[in-house]
Structure 1
Amino acid sequence: MDDNMYHQFFGLQKEPFSMTPDPALLYLTVAHREALAGLSYSILSRKGFVVLTGDAGTGKTTLLSRIFQSIPSTRALFSVVLNPTLTPSEFLELALLDFGIEDIPASKAQRLVLLERFLTEAYRKQQVPVLVVDEAHKLSPEVMEEIRLLSNFELAESKLLQIVLAGQTELGALLNRVDLRQLKQRIAVRLAIHPLSLSDVHHYIQHRWQKAGATQPHPFHPDAVNRIAQVSRGIPRLVNAICDNALTLAYGEGNKDIGTAEIAEVASDLDLLDSHSRAPQAGQSPGADPMRVDRSAKAPDAANGLPTASGYRTAHGTEPLSLPLSGPGTVPTLERYETNATKPSLLARLANKLRGSRSTQYI
């Protein structure tokens, strides 16, 4: 098979559901846009501590990537820590290095003096230093305490260092530890993102198909898309994995129509079938939306920073979202998708089908 795989077969210019991030295929739901606006506003308003949570694969890193690209370096300076398994000393060193601070001394006291000088100079230049910690739910309590101490850098009227903790929903449990209560009390804004609704999954697939340069409608039957939403539980990373594998299988069979049978086969090979993703049972309302997110319901921590229709909640009340959600220079990089590779059984069957199928003209 050539590198184009199913591109020519389906009339595409690129893979619409690649695991590799592609800014041209970005799709943001209303909830993602609300979280993005809240994150941007919190940083530029120097709110201090911000927490962003969401299940794995729902788009946290997508939002962070967009923030990095949408806020110019004249407004904000970012230090990004992606490794949550560091010691407190290593964490501080990496944070300094990513801010561009060189010749870091061995002494912690001297490192903190160096950081304070950097933060004060940035404030003088009206720049906002932002420390972003991804995978924060994996941080040790010791590193969490180090982060809390870094938030002590402040002036009478403003925080000198903005800190964004991004992680899976387990981050909430970590912050509820008794020994981290002082850190929790300093959180000014909490933001959360959720899986795609059933309607979102339909729009997501259509959007990415069109952005991939399609010259014909996508091959997924509406019932197949419904099944994708159920099996993936609305997680974009899994939607991509299912769709990409289904297209590869259909290409190998010379089939331009993908139904629920193909989705079930792919889902089985990706080991995604469980009690939460079974096919609808007889008698289930056909109009039911199994992936719908009730946006009118209050989340357990809604009073502590979740986005609302008019803004986001903080410890000091609801504040408006005033930043643009789109425009020149605001295209982010996509989330780094990580998923299990196609199982050998699927690849083996695909190879056999390609050798004997009527689609060999596309190989």
Structure 2
Amino acid sequence: MLAQDTLKHFRLFCDPFVDDVRSAEDVFMTNEYRYVLASMRHAAQAQGIVAVVADSGAGKTTMRRMLMDELRRDGKTTVIMPSIIDKTRITAAGLCEAIIADISDENPKRSLEAKARQVERLLRDASRSGQKHVMVIEEAHDLTIPTLRYLKRFWELEDGFTKLLGIVLIGQTELGLKLQEHRNSQARELIRRCITVDLRPLDDDLESYLNYKLERVGSSLPKVIEPQAVEAIRQRLRRKDKGQVVSDLYPLAINNLVVRALNAAAELGDERVTTEIVKHV
């Protein structure tokens, strides 16, 4: 976090990089992020299947919150979220119980067959009254292949031509690997129907991102960070992996590096973050 002395030094009334997202207006949206959010929204409202894949700290949870906020305000789509922490332990019965708990006051039936019929009835009745449903699963990279196969069966629930359940999977890069058919042909039925979208790094939007965050707290990028230092931040968050340049310019990594640089600049008494500071924090 930014030290109190750092906030005073740069005349910031609050930390723009830690616990900074309190509403949709606080979220910096690139065209990439808008596309991802639109893909999630379409899966929820048109009852499709989408997987959002990105490294830790890329903003996946923020996108999920944006989606849920939109759906809550719209009121036409109910979100179902299995709450089990260990996603490797999710079963078909557990998914049924999550659906029943989130869309009704009924107690789950005992047998899996009875639970499945109960789920189909509840979703069908709600659909006929105009209500849509989407199941959102975070940490979906931990899902087992059998569970992915179960999800396809849930997605197949329908009332005539009307699908009864959309599915949004949110996970780290391992989820993208798991959804490659040549790796997991057993789950090909879901994989072939699932649209995978990636949250890419903010390489081309770094300056805009930093300025947006700082303007939200009454400052601006030129007042706090030198132009050359911004490029230094970009280079610090790139690395080589097997001969390829890999970018880690995701919001969390950017925030952490900039916070360290601001604290260091304040300690040194510098008016702005310099290239040398970025290189050494």
TM-score normalized by the length of structure 1: 0.66
Partner of 1:6, secondary structure, is: helix
* Structure 1: stretches of 5+ with no match in the other structure: 267-363
Which of 180, 188, 191 is the equivalent residue of 1:181? 188
1:241 equivalent in alignment to 2:256: yes
What CA deviation, in whole Å up to 9, does each residue of 1:239-281 have, x standing for no partner? 0111112112222333322112211222xxxxxxxxxxxxxxx
- SS of the residue corresponding to residue 164 of structure 1 reads strand
For the residues of structure 2 that align with 1:215 and 1:180, how far apart are their CA atoms? Answer: 48
Q: Show the counterpart of 1:93.
A: 97
Which runs of structure 2 are paired with 1:1-363 in the superposition (5 Å)?
A: 4-19=4-19, 21-23=21-23, 24-46=25-47, 48-71=48-71, 72=73, 74-81=75-82, 83=85, 84-88=87-91, 89-99=93-103, 101-175=105-179, 176=181, 177-187=184-194, 189-197=195-203, 199-214=204-219, 217-232=222-237, 233=247, 234-266=249-281
In 2, the alpha carbon distance for the partners of 1:250 and 1:105 equals 62
Residues 33-73 of structure 1 deviation map (CA, whole Å, 9 limit, x = unaligned): 12222322332223x22222223222222222111111235
Secondary structure at the residue paired with 1:7? helix
RMSD of aligned Cα (Å): 2.5
For the structure 1 residues 107 and 4, does the alpha-carbon distance in structure 2 shift closer, same or farther, using more than 3 Å as the test?
farther
1:25 and 1:212 in contact (8 A); partners too = no
What is the DSSP-based 3-state SS (H/G/I as helix, E as strand, rest coil) of the residue aligned with 2:273?
coil
Q: Equivalents in 1 of 2:162, 2:130: separation in Å?
A: 12
Q: How far apart in 2 are the matches of 1:178 and 1:45?
A: 26
Q: Which is further off, 161-170 or 92-101? A: 92-101
Cα distance in structure 1, aligned partners of 2:211 and 2:20 = 18
Structure 2 counterpart of 1:182, which letter?
A: E
Cα distance change of structure 1 residues 245 and 94 upon mapping to structure 2, 3 Å threshold: farther
The alignment partner of 1:249 has SS state of helix
Q: Which amino acid aligns with 1:124?
A: R
| In 1: Cα distance, 2:232 partner to 2:150 partner | 45
Consecutive unaligned residues of structure 2, counting only runs of 5 or more, are 238-246
CA offsets, 1:147-166, max 9 Å, x none?
22212211221210111112
CA distance in 1, matches of 2:127, 2:27: 33
Structure 1 residue 183, shift from structure 2 partner: 1.6
- Decide which structure has greater helix share: 2
How far the C-alpha of 1:195 sits from its partner, in A, is 0.7
| 8 Å CA contact retained: 1:79, 1:96 | no
For residues 143 and 97 of structure 2, the distance between their equivalents in structure 1, rounded to whole angstroms, comes to 16
CA deviations on 1:290-349 (whole Å, 9 max, x unpaired) are xxxxxxxxxxxxxxxxxxxxxxxxxxxxxxxxxxxxxxxxxxxxxxxxxxxxxxxxxxxx
Map of 1:287 onto structure 2: none
The CA deviation at 1:216 is: 8.5
Normalising to structure 2: TM-score of the pair?
0.83
